[in-house]
Every structure is written in C-alpha cells, then in structure tokens.
A and B are shown apart, each in its own frame.
Chain A
Amino acid sequence: AQKVTQAQTEISVVEKEDVTLDCVYETRDTTYYLFWYKQPPSGELVFLIRRNSFDEQNEISGRYSWNFQKSTSSFNFTITASQVVDSAVYFCALRGFPSNTGKLIFGQGTTLQVKP
C-alpha cells in the first residue's frame, strides 16, 4: 500500500524565519513520483514540484528547496526567509509507477502560518 505522512499538522513562524515541512512516504514500487502542492487561503491547489525516484538531487527554486532522501523515504520542503504570502496548506503526494492510474496519494497537509 502507498501512504504519505505529514506529521506536522500546523506550523507557525515569524516572517523571515526558515521553515521545513516534513514528508515521509511508503511505497513498494521501485519507481515512483513525489509532488508538493500549495493550497493558499483562496482554496485552489497549486503545483510546486515533481521529483522521480531516480533523481535524488536536491532542488532549489528561489526561496524554496526540496530535499529528497530515499534512505529515509523522505521528501522535505524548506522555505527560506518565509513571507506572509507563504501562509497556506502544503500537501505532499505520491504516485507509483508503473500503474494503470495517474491518481495521487496525498498526505494530510501541513498548515503554515507566517506572521508578520
């Protein structure tokens, strides 16, 4: 069975602090894809990143960075110098491969509140 766990339900930080959102996954597939989505207060789901299981290089995009470690089945997300606009619910998701479906399995989400 596939599972995604985001143990942090809510995180509150003050603007300009760095914050890391944890994601741990379970899958028996040797090939799989991991995703992060952002859900701002307006409610839509915004795609942030996709990573396949064969690419363990960390990725940086502006203030966002992702750390993928197969050894610990983790795909953590760090926001550097957080801003109020980063306040949102963040979801980690998993898809196994091969599969007859493209559905994503989501974690429960982490609510990030960035205070001014």
Chain B
Amino acid sequence: DSGVTQTPKHLITATGQRVTLRCSPRSGDLSVYWYQQSLDQGLQFLIQYYNGEERAKGNILERFSAQQFPDLHSELNLSSLELGDSALYFCASSPYSASTGELFFGEGSRLTVL
C-alpha cells in the first residue's frame, strides 16, 4: 500500500460527458502528479501541483483541468470526453516540489468512455 488513494477505481461514461477523478496523497506529501496510461501512449505526465499551486505541466489537453485543495487532495477534471480518453489515470505524490526520491503511485482510476 503506497498510501496514495484514488477514487473511483473504475468509471464508465459516455462521450461528451464530464468526470472528476480524486486523489489523496500520502500523509505529509505536498506534491501531487497526474499521469495518463493508455495502450498506445504509455505513461504520460499530465500535471503536477505543489502545495496548491501548479508546478509543471505536461501533455494535458485543454479539456482537462486539475487543482489541489488546501487539504492537499487533488482532483482531475475531464470534460467533453472522447473515446480516446479511455485510459488508466494515475495519481502520485512526493514530499517536495522537486523530490529526488521515488514517486508513490495510487492504484489508478480506470476510465472507459463509450
């Protein structure tokens, strides 16, 4: 158990819809990272938040947005969903903004868009 909690574990929705994925980092970790794992794209970095502020941005679509709340949990919002958004979305956490150690990953949220 990494200590990172993600909900929901599975989500099935239709094209055009909007969903919110939630992540609670390990106790004491200030940084949260979001990754997307699809079959043809591998593990792609989406975005990082540190203590409530955006710290780094990757290949995140404009239809996607994220935020980190004062209690340090984070949400990833995916809107106007398309079939290609079906993927496993991982959240990870680390103690600092630029930690040198490993990232601790949650079990992922599997999104299926029909």
Residue among A91, A101, A102, A103 with max Cβ neighbours from chain B (10 Å): A102
Task: Identify which of B20-28, B62-70, B97-105 touches chain A.
Answer: B97-105
Q: Which of A35, A100, A101, A107 contacts B42 (CB 8 A)?
A: A107
A20 to B: closest C-beta gap in Å: 20
How far, in whole Å, are A80 and B90 apart by their CA atoms in the complex?
Answer: 30
How far, in whole Å, are A82 and B96 apart by their CA atoms in the complex?
Answer: 36
**Contact string against B for A residues 99-113, beta-carbon threshold 8 Å, 1 for contact and 0 otherwise:** 111111111110000
In the complex, are the beta carbons of B31 and A109 less than 8 A apart? no
Main secondary structure on A side of the interface with B: loop
Q: Which residues of chain B are near A91, meaning CB under 8 Å?
A: 42-43
How far, in whole Å, are A101 and B96 apart by their CA atoms in the complex?
Answer: 9
Decide if A33 is an interface residue (CB 8 Å cutoff): yes
Q: Which residues of chain B are near A102, meaning CB under 8 Å?
A: 31, 33, 48, 94, 96-100, 103
Interface on A for B, CB 8 Å cutoff? Answer: 33, 35, 37, 42-45, 47, 50, 52, 91, 95, 97-109
